[in-house]
């Protein structure tokens, strides 16, 4: 990574026009324990560097010493905002390596809950992004709708945040009684709430001033850095793994991919809002088509995928979250590698920030929607 | 206590005169009573304003706010005060100890000093009636910025320093538009004494807000910026600068800044009320009081408090609705919008006053009441109903003129054209690819 | 600063912007919320107050909730259902379960037979992820994660639950309102 030159000989702060500012790891708006070392001229950023690893737990190494079913809970703790999506990558990777046939009902319930998780994740993004830019009220409104989703998760999985949602071969439990009603109620109510957020922000001139033209990244640069998810689509690249390599039940469902034009913070904001609408549309369809039947495939007593390697990825709320799995034919994986969307999206931070003000750095960190649990792993 | 309202006007005076001489009563005892009452009330207000703000913001966010301490959490501010008083007073090791300790007191002193000239009510509701009252308010309140700079500088912290620098730039810029916006009202009032301004509005029975809608808007917006309140709370922007200039403060010293902030809100609301909203004057209050002087004072005080409360609600309302400005945008707003607008307002008000005076006697139009006896400056312009109508119409027309003027000035600025840059997202129907299939992946080596 | 593409705004948009419509509509909404908090009772669809008054009002926890662990007992004989099979300890990703069995002699059909029964059960809740894999592994539905969620203690040692705590439940410390 690029290094910021920290060593400056200065007697007092004002002797040198340049100032090095350590933002984080205990800063309120670096979304966790990210440390950003900023070199400032006045308030203009002339250089920056990220220091990560404060939340490193060695998850990939831990996974090498665990049986296959034991690894799923660790995936929840990567991107803890989107634990359901993360869990899905792992179980699908193992299932596909085993060549299991998953019953369609499980696929549909997985789709519904993963999309709800995407909405929850985007709502938390909206909440914190708003807070970064000073719009406090939208934080609590968004958390209120997220709470509705978390209630569904609690009923279904028994936990709200780190759900341990799926098991290899299906699900721990069938959908609980009243599942469809609860999801339907959320789906019916949600558009009206989205309108409220838009009323507060979308046209507000202060919001426009803070987001339009901030953190611009072109489509070519975005692809070169390897951005994925809304950060990539905001730059105008229509790339969505749900479309290009459908998993779960996405092949049967109808939805559009929202794409921005300028690649600035405002476009990414609009893209995420539209994604929430599309997610709602997917949930609505999946709920209508929800088939009956079992939710678990027949799985071997000890899970031993055949020797080999396999890469599976899904479209998580933050981008492409992938799992590269190497098996040596034993009951523990030889190597597990996570393709972390947030870590790769964070690489764009330097390019986006230089030339902007300190206040914009905060907005840009917000718009990248990073979660440090996944960056540091 | 209640009968005090209906007591003869000099009831307390009589009581005091038994103890002290006339001079002592006039220049020592009364002022002390008033100052004590005002300081106590403002301190209590600063505490309860935080309670109100927490409640109002909570309601706007579908929350309940403080509920535990006392009924409806009404004792919460007192619990907070006790907590802050008993908290450890931390100071950074390499901070400048004297300036660090001294800065909060400047903030509090500068804010509380301005209350000395604000007329809360007629008669004994005024502590002092200085004939340069408005100037004093502006001068003293701009000392407050010193506290912020010193606090930011002495903390020896980069966040605090940035906060202090931001606050100095911000307050200096907004002082200008704040001061200039008052000039228009002064042309109608013809005095700098705050009591005189209220008197001018009372005698005309017109609030200057009607003559000066633009100036009122400029003054209030500048006042919000002057108080470092959202959406202009850059010196303490918690998402960027942690807590800005008071990052390193804790306990009682922090609460002094806090108190100064809330008291400064009252100052701006009070001055705005006095200059633009008629102060303690409300039509019919005098008749309602029915000759009881103390009752009249208390009713007027009530009117004043209600008007201030409306403005303070606006403060809270803005804060919990809008995102925060960025530093350069804030400067843009100040220098490219508010200052040109306030300059235009002066010119426009001058034209208005000139027009009203020129119309007098032309074609049987009577705009100025004929004065009997010596001209009474405290009575303002002495406009007749026609004159008032003309002035009000021109004042509101000034809004449109100002808007066109500002649009012309800022035609090419980025902030003005943001709306153009807003785009919709496109919805793309991407063709579906091959599904991720279950493979028997046993191809590689184990 | 990189500039972005510019498109012409319509007259309607210009007029809206002129009258501060974008700011006023936000203020209208927050005012609605402010009044709604006092009058509206519907918090899910309307503007009502959404928050729970937690210690005062106990939350309704889902039946499937993964909370404090418990060792179930036979409701009639009051003997532990645990057969000390160690499956839960094997299923635990964090190794936070210790099952300590002991052998006792029981008379089966008149003959003394050795039988493995549970002596002590250690459950370290400070390391537990509440993934419920142990609950799923238990063949006798003995180990269960209950709906009890107030697990805070004053010391690290307090997180280690022994058999007695797991069977009887930790001394209930409800936070009174």
In three-state secondary structure terms, B10 is coil
pLDDT score at C177: 46
For residue A273, CA distances in Å to A133, A213, B254 come to 17, 18, 39
pLDDT score at A122: 92
Mean of all residue pLDDT scores within chain B? 79
pLDDT score at A117: 92
Query: How distant is the alpha carbon of residue A16 from its chain centre?
Result: 40
* Closest to B320 in 3D by CA, of A28, C37, C30: C30
pLDDT score at C132: 86
Among chain C residues, CA nearest to B314: C27
* Closest to B216 in 3D by CA, of B167, B275, B297, B293: B275
**pLDDT band with cut points at 50, 70 and 90 for residue B444:** very low
Return the minimum-mean-pLDDT range out of A130-134, B84-88, B344-348, B442-446: B442-446
CA distance C141 to chain A (A): 15
For residue B327, CA distances in Å to A43, A77, B155, B388 come to 9, 37, 22, 41
Give percent of chain A with pLDDT exceeding 70: 96
| pLDDT tens digit sequence for B215-230 | 888 998 988 888 888 7
| pLDDT tens digit sequence for A72-123 | 889 888 888 888 998 899 998 888 888 888 888 888 999 999 999 999 999 9
CB contacts, 8 Å: B161 with chain A? 13
| pLDDT tens digit sequence for A137-161 | 888 889 988 988 999 999 888 888 8
Choose from B52, B57, B58, B59 for mutation: most chain C CBs within 10 A.
Answer: B59
CB contacts, 8 Å: B320 with chain C? 30
Mean pLDDT of B86-97: 82
pLDDT score at C140: 86
pLDDT score at B359: 76
Q: Greater confidence, A108 or A16?
A: A108
* Closest to B382 in 3D by CA, of B393, B390, B371: B371
Region class of A354: left (phi > 0), else alpha (psi between -120 and 50), else beta: beta
Mean of all residue pLDDT scores within chain A? 86
Cβ separation of A158 and C66 shorter than 8 Å? yes
Mean of all residue pLDDT scores within chain C? 80
Give yes or no for a contact between A35 and A22, defined as CB atoms under 8 angstroms apart. Answer: yes
Compute the distance between CA of residue B48 and CA of residue A4 in angstroms, rounded to an integer.
47
Count CB-CB contacts under 10 A for residue C60: 10
Q: Residue B1 pLDDT > 50, yes or no?
A: no
- Close Cβ partners of A280 (under 8 Å, ≥ 6 residues apart): A115, A119, A187, A190, A191
Cβ separation of C129 and A164 shorter than 8 Å? yes
Mean pLDDT of C9-31: 78
Return the minimum-mean-pLDDT range out of B282-286, C71-75, C94-98: B282-286
Cβ separation of A199 and C4 shorter than 8 Å? no
- Tell me the ipTM for this assembly: 0.81
Mean pLDDT of B173-197: 85
pLDDT score at A120: 92
With an 8 Å Cβ cutoff, is A164 touching chain C? yes
**pLDDT band with cut points at 50, 70 and 90 for residue B261:** confident
| pLDDT tens digit sequence for A227-239 | 888 888 888 888 8
pLDDT score at A292: 86
pLDDT score at A17: 72
Residue ranges of chain C whose CB lies within 8 Å of a chain A CB: 1-5, 16-17, 21-23, 25-26, 29-30, 33, 43-45, 50, 61-66, 91-93, 129-133, 136, 145
Give all chains having 3 or more CB-to-CB distances under 8 Å with chain B. Answer: A, C
pLDDT score at C3: 42
Q: Residue C72 pLDDT > 80, yes or no?
A: yes
| pLDDT tens digit sequence for B352-372 | 888 877 777 776 666 666 655
Mean pLDDT of B294-319: 85
pLDDT score at C4: 45
């Amino acid at each position: 990574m690029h290094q910021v030159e920290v060593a400056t000989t200065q007697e007092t702060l004002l002797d040198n026009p340049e100032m090095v500012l350590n933002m984080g790891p205990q800063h309120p708006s670096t979304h966790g324990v990210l440390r950003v070392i900023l070199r400032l001229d006045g308030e203009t950023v002339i250089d920056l560097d990220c220091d990560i690893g404060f939340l490193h737990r060695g998850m990939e190494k831990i996974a090498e010493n665990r049986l296959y079913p034991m690894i799923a809970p660790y995936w929840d703790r990567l991107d803890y905002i989107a634990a359901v999506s993360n869990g899905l990558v792992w179980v699908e990777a193992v299932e596909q390596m085993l060549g299991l046939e998953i019953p369609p009902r499980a696929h549909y319930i997985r789709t519904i809950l993963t999309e709800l998780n995407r909405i929850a994740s985007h709502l938390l993004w909206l909440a914190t992004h708003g807070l970064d830019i000073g719009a406090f009220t939208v934080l609590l409104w968004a958390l209120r709708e997220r709470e509705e989703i978390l209630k569904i998760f609690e009923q279904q999985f028994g936990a709200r945040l780190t759900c341990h949602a799926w098991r290899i071969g299906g699900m721990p439990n069938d959908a609980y009684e009243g599942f469809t009603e609860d999801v339907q109620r959320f789906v019916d109510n949600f558009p009206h709430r989205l309108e409220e957020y838009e009323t507060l922000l979308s046209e507000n001139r202060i919001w426009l001033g803070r987001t339009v033209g901030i953190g611009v990244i072109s489509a070519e640069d975005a692809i070169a850095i390897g951005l994925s998810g809304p950060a990539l689509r905001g730059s105008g690249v229509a790339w969505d793994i749900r479309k290009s390599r459908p998993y779960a039940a996405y092949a049967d469902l109808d939805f559009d991919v929202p794409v921005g034009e300028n690649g600035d913070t405002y476009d990414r904001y609009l893209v995420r809002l539209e994604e929430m609408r599309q997610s709602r549309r997917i949930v609505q369809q999946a709920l209508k088509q929800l088939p009956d039947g079992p939710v678990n495939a027949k799985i071997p007593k000890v899970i031993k995928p055949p020797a080999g390697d396999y890469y599976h990825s899904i479209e998580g709320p933050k981008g492409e979250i992938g799992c590269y799995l190497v098996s040596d034919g034993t009951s523990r994986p030889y190597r597990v590698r996570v393709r972390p969307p947030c870590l790769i999206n964070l690489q764009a931070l330097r390019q986006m920030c230089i030339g902007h003000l300190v206040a914009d750095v905060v907005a840009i960190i917000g718009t990248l929607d990073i979660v440090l649990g996944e960056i540091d792993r | 206590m209640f009968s005090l309202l209906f007591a003869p006007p000099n009831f307390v005076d009589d009581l005091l005169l038994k103890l002290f001489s006339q001079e002592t009563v006039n220049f020592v005892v009364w002022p002390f009573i008033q100052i004590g009452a005002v300081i106590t009330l403002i301190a209590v207000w600063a505490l309860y304003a935080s309670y109100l703000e927490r409640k109002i913001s909570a309601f706007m966010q579908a929350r309940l706010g403080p509920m535990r301490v006392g009924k409806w959490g009404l004792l919460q501010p007192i619990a907070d005060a006790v907590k802050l008083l008993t908290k450890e007073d931390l100071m950074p090791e390499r901070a400048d100890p004297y300036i660090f300790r001294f800065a909060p007191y400047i903030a509090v002193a500068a804010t509380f000093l301005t209350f000395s000239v604000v007329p809360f009510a007629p008669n004994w509701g005024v502590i002092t009636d200085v004939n340069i009252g408005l100037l004093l308010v502006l001068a003293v309140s701009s000392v407050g910025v010193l506290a912020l700079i010193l606090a930011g500088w002495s903390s020896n912290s980069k966040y605090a320093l940035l906060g202090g620098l931001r606050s100095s730039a911000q307050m200096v810029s907004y002082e200008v538009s704040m001061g200039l916006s008052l000039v228009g009202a002064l042309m109608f009032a013809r005095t700098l004494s705050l009591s005189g301004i209220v008197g001018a509005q009372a005698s005309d029975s017109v609030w200057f807000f009607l003559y000066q809608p633009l100036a009122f808007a400029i003054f209030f917006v500048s006042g919000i910026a002057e108080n470092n309140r959202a959406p202009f709370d850059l010196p303490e922007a918690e998402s960027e600068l942690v807590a800005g200039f008071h990052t390193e403060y804790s306990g009682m010293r922090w609460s002094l800044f806090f108190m100064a902030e809330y008291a400064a809100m009252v100052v701006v609301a009070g001055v705005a009320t006095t200059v633009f909203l008629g102060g303690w004057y409300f039509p019919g209050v005098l008749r309602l009081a029915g000759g009881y002087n103390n009752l009249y004072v208390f009713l007027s005080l009530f009117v004043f408090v209600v008007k201030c409360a409306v403005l303070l609600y606006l403060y809270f309302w803005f804060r919990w609705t809008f995102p925060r400005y960025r530093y350069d945008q804030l400067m843009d707003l100040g220098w490219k919008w508010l200052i040109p607008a306030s300059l235009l307002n002066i010119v426009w008000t001058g034209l208005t006053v000139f027009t009203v005076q020129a119309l007098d006697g032309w074609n049987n139009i009577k705009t100025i009441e004929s004065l009997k006896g010596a001209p009474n400056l405290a009575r303002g312009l002495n406009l007749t109903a026609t004159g008032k109508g003309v002035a009000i119409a021109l004042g509101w027309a000034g809004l449109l003129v100002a808007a066109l003027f500002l649009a012309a000035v800022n035609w090419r600025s980025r902030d003005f054209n943001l709306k153009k840059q807003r785009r919709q997202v496109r919805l793309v129907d991407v063709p579906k690819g091959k599904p991720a299939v279950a493979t028997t992946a046993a191809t590689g080596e184990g | 600063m990189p500039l972005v593409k510019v498109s012409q705004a319509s007259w309607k948009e210009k007029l809206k912007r002129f009258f501060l419509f974008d700011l006023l509509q936000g203020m209208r909404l927050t005012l609605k919320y402010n009044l709604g908090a006092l009058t509206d009772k519907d918090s899910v669809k309307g503007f009502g107050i959404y928050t729970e008054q937690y210690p005062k009002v106990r939350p309704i926890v889902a039946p499937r909730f993964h909370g404090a662990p418990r060792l179930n007992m036979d409701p009639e004989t009051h003997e532990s259902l645990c057969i000390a099979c160690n499956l839960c300890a094997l299923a635990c990703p964090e190794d936070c379960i210790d099952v300590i069995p002991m052998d006792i002699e029981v008379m089966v059909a008149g003959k003394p037979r050795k039988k493995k029964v549970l002596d002590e059960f250690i459950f370290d809740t400070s390391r537990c992820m509440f993934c419920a894999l142990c609950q799923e592994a238990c063949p006798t539905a003995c180990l269960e994660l209950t709906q009890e969620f107030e697990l805070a203690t004053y010391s690290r040692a307090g997180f280690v639950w022994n058999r007695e705590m797991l069977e009887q439940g930790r001394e209930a410390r409800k936070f009174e309102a």
